Structure formats: structure tokens, C-alpha cells
Amino acid sequence: MPRLLLILVMLFHGFAHAQDYRAFDYRKADSIAAHTVMGKGEKYVDIAHRLTAGLPTEQEKFRSILRWVCDHLEYTEGVYTKDPGQLLKSGKAVCQGYAALLFEMCKEIGLECEIITGYARNEPDDIGKRLKGLEHHAWNAIKLGGNWYLTDATWASGYYDKKTKTYTRHFNEVYFLSGPDFFSYSHFPREKKWQLLDKKVSRHKFLHRPIVWKNYDSLGLRAVAGRAHRFTFVRIPLRLSYRKSQIPLSDSVTFALEPDCPYYKPKIKPGDANTKTRVRLPMYKRGLHFVTLFINHKAVATYKVRTWGIDPDKIEARRAARKKKREKK
């Protein structure tokens, strides 16, 4: 029987990480950003000072500016200006505009910020594409407490539907001061130093990694490794490691196979910190498939798999023929 074979390796260990500023209470910063109205003809330098004047910490100041930028720019294709005055006047921008305005406002109040350019991918179809086939993108790095953090103001601000050309504003926490491991699945900077990882991700690895979803970050995952191979019998060596506390092996781990979307639950032996388990998923149909990993019913990562399906009856016939051949010998 043709099947998708996955090796699930769950690694649990502590992770030395820079301070988690996302655990901070940002209600005051968010409130200031929400109630700061831009005056007619007001410049970004004045707005930056008004947004941060009553906030004592660097992270709160950055949060207030970020929320204001996300709330006052609307993603619009074709608007490529980086000029802060033009951005405030029109209220429209693409990623370069978001990153530029955030950079200028942070610089005005003394926060060390950088604009990072590179490539981004956020759809399963992006897996395996060449770098030039991916979206050119811009985001920011911000220095807080002596450590660098990554933020994508464009993706944090809302969602843009390329088919309908419509933008929906909705702040997404996952792209605010994100961990570099999470960013490395979707963002590939031109300068590798801005991966902020001790072990850099190569271009080839980036292009063939699975797509990870926001639950990867919220569950505290540090790594989901693995790549699909183009065979009838597909092997995906899947590795999971967690940043913080150990997640019990009894937690729900399931896989969904698209486009038919049946669910499969692997068996995981309890009591072993490095448990390995083989997950067999039927792959009867030839063509392209997407396999999504779920933990506690939350989508974590999606793999792209291209297979050559074989009819189950033909497989049984082949096995019988091989068995008969061996018996004759």
C-alpha cells in the first residue's frame, strides 16, 4: 500500500532566549496609540514624541509606535514611496512603506531600529519555489535591552487578499518581537546576519522547509524540521523542539492530508523525551498533496508532497508475485 511515511521526533529541552518582551503588559501603550489622532499637516516626528512621551520603557515606546503605524497605514499595491510625509498624507503603503515609517519614528525617539529586506513566503504553494519566485519583502529589527528582535509591521497590521484586492485590518501579535526561529520559516533576509540565529539557515533549506502557522509560535515551538521527497513512499523526518516547558507526549498530535482532508493520529510512546514514531498516511492518488501537522487541534506546519499514486490492488498483486517467486527459489 503506498503511504506517506513520516518519522516524528519530539525533542524537549530548555532554550536560552533573550527576554520575552511580549509577555509585558502593553495595554497603556496600545491605548495611547489608539487615541492618538494625527493633526492636519502634523509631521511624523511630532507624532512619535506624542506616542511615547508618557511611556517609561523602550518596549512600550516601540509598541505604541508599531500599533499606530499598523492602524494608520493601509496595504495598497503599487504604492512604493518610503517618504514619511507622503505615507502619512496618503495612509497607503506596501511593506517598504511600513518598514520605513516605523524606522523613522523609532529613530526620532532614540530607539535603534533597522530596515531588513529580503524574501518572504506564507503559502504552502511557496514551498520549493526558487528565491526569485517569492515575494520581495521588507521588515524591521529593533534593539531592546541590548538584544535584537524582529518585527513585521506589514504582516502584523492585517491581511491582504491578492485575488479580491481587499485589505482587512487586524493586529496580529505573532509578528511583534517574534523569535528568530519562527521568522526563519517565512523571512529570508539578504544579509544572513539578520536571521539572528547562531546557525544560519541556507537558501536551499529555507525554500524547502514547511510553512509554519502562528500556532507554532504560540505553542512555544523552536523547530519543525523536515522536507518531503517526491516518491510514492514519502519520508518526512519531522523534528519538534520546544523553547520553554516540556509539552507532554500525551498531547494531541494529528496530521491532515489535503485535498481530501482525512485526519490521522500517530501512536506516541509515553515516558521517552526523544520518542520516535512512524506515521503512515495513505497516498493512493498521484499528484500534489499538502500534509498539515496539528498539535492540540491547532495547525502548526504544512508540508508539500508530490507523489506517484499506485492502486492498492496492484500493490497486493506485486507482493503476491514476489512471494511466489521467492517460494520457487
Reported as a single tens digit per residue, the pLDDT across 315-328 is 677 778 888 888 88
Find, among 73, 69, 63, the residue nearest to 30 by Cα.
63
Collapsed DSSP state (helix, strand, coil) of residue 267: coil
Asked if the model's pLDDT at residue 226 lies above 70, the reply is: no
pLDDT of 14 reads 31
- Could you tell me which residues come within 8 angstroms of residue 128 by beta carbon, excluding any fewer than 6 positions away? 207, 208, 304
pLDDT of 288 reads 79
pLDDT of 120 reads 96
State which fold the 1-16+213-329 domain adopts: Immunoglobulin-like (2.60.40)
CATH class given for the domain over 18-178? alpha beta
pLDDT of 84 reads 93
The ranges of the chain annotated as CATH 2.60.40 are 1-16+213-329
Q: What is the mean pLDDT of the chain?
A: 82
Q: Is the peptide bond before 84 cis (omega within 30 degrees of 0)?
A: no
pLDDT of 258 reads 74
% residues pLDDT > 70 (the chain):
75
The ranges of the chain annotated as CATH 3.10.620.30 are 18-178
Question: What mean pLDDT comes out for the span 1-11?
Answer: 44
Asked if the model's pLDDT at residue 192 lies above 80, the reply is: yes
Cell of 295: 498539535
Q: How many helices (H) and strands (E) does the chain have?
A: 10, 17
Higher per-residue confidence, 112 vs 292: 112
Q: What is the CA radius of gyration of the chain?
A: 23
Instruction: State pLDDT tens for residues 68-100.
Output: 999 999 999 988 999 999 999 999 999 999 999
d(CA 2, CA 63): 51
CA angle 308, 135, 124 (to 5 degrees): 30
11-15, 82-86, 106-110, 113-117: range with lowest mean pLDDT: 11-15
d(CA 44, CA 224): 40
Kind and range of the H or E run holding 50: helix 44-52
Cell of 327: 517460494
Cα–chain center distance at 286 = 29
pLDDT of 232 reads 42
Asked if the model's pLDDT at residue 225 lies above 70, the reply is: no
